[in-house]
Amino acid sequence: MKKLTREEIEHLVPYPPGKPIEELAREVNIKKESIIKLASNENPLGPSPMAVEAIKKRLKDLNRYPDGSAFYLKRKLSNKLGRPTDQIIIGNGSNELIELVVRTFLLPGEEVIQPFPTFLVYEKIVKGSGGQITSVPLKGFDIDLEAVTKSISPKTKIIFLNNPNNPTGQAIKKDQLKDFLNSIPKDIIVVLDEAYIEFAQSADIANGAEMLEYHSLILVMRTFSKIYGLAGLRIGYGFGSKLLIDYMERVRQPFNVNLLAQEGALAALDDEEFIKKTISIIENGKKYLYKELKKIGLEYIPSVTNFFLIKVPSGARKVYELLLKKGVIVRSMEAYGLPEYIRITVGLKEENEKFISALKEVL
């Protein structure tokens, strides 16, 4: 009898999804409205209001296929980034772009490097494609670029760098990344996943748009899921080497990004007031949460993003489950190799206060 699938897939574990609010309400018998979800790094304000209005106007066109080339969105991103449209690719979330990189460029016998812990999807896609991945431990909670460099072998084809890194919330500095890019072989593809870059306010944090001149094979990935609040529409974009974009476009499925997602993203790019308000709420929320956690006596890892890690006694799984019963959804970090930590997304003022209150009770 033929083997059903590859051995690599046999050993893969499904990505751990967050619990739906409706299901939790049913399980613990509390009102849906009283539940807060602080598990998936979503924008607590909801979607960009300008995006919502733009989407409403296009609902009547749902019988039509979306623009397969995302012409208008690429043009607007081209103006924003100062790069030609043939150096930009649009994806069904940045997850699709991760998959496109691996499917397009990773050949049999070649390997991928990632720091770890990091975004779990890199390893899932590489192993699911039959590739090999080397995980380089973080240095404390920072990406160790020196160790990544030492891990490079003749088989290394792709390096994934999540900056700022999920789940640790730490970012690579400009000089560090510049030195790294100058030091590695020029035939290695470097993927800079910048899903949270808009939250990083410090001027010394590396920004992919400023790094393209230091390495010829860079793909910078960004998303509309986080700061723009469009996670439910699944849309992201990449930019960088024209050579990489050209090959990925050959593999990309036609109509990969739906019509409403493109319209929402177009409008969201202009919603500067919403972006400023989001950053303000996240920064104020972190100040409040850090202060309260210090009062409780819990360790936490300060972050440049809209999420951060908290070290909890008796383990993350137990605290996660106890918080669920209080109607508070957070993320246990067991799957990331951090069994003593939970990850919390910064919410609205009242959500942050409810989390602190519930955390005190379960501890």
Residue 190: strand pairing partners: 159, 218
The two structure tokens encoding residue 183: 């030091």
* Position 255 pLDDT exceeds 70: yes
What is the mean predicted confidence (pLDDT) over 31-38? 88
Span 140-189, pLDDT tens digits: 999 999 999 999 999 999 999 999 999 999 999 999 999 999 999 999 99
Phi, psi of 227 (to 5 degrees): -70, -25
Of 233, 70, 238, whose CA–CA distance to 160 is shortest? 238
Q: What pLDDT was estimated at residue 35?
A: 92
Instruction: Mean pLDDT check: name the lowest of 21-25, 69-73, 332-336, 348-352.
Output: 21-25
Q: How confident is the model at residue 19 (pLDDT cuts 50, 70, 90)?
A: low
pTM summary value: 0.95
Rounded Cα gap, residues 328 and 332, in angstroms: 12
* Position 268 pLDDT exceeds 90: yes
Rounded Cα gap, residues 62 and 212, in angstroms: 38
Span 186-225, pLDDT tens digits: 999 999 999 999 999 999 999 999 999 999 999 999 999 9
Residues 6+ apart with CB under 8 A from 39: 18, 19, 329, 330, 331, 343, 345
Please, what are the domains in the chain? Answer: 7-46+272-362 (3.90.1150.10), 49-268 (3.40.640.10)
Q: What pLDDT was estimated at residue 32?
A: 81
Q: How confident is the model at residue 361 (pLDDT cuts 50, 70, 90)?
A: very high
Q: What pLDDT was estimated at residue 18?
A: 65
Average pLDDT of the chain to the nearest whole number? 95
Per the CB < 8 A criterion, the answer to whether 289 and 346 are in contact is yes
* Position 312 pLDDT exceeds 80: yes
* Position 360 pLDDT exceeds 90: yes
CB atoms within 10 A of CB 42: 21
Q: What pLDDT was estimated at residue 105?
A: 98
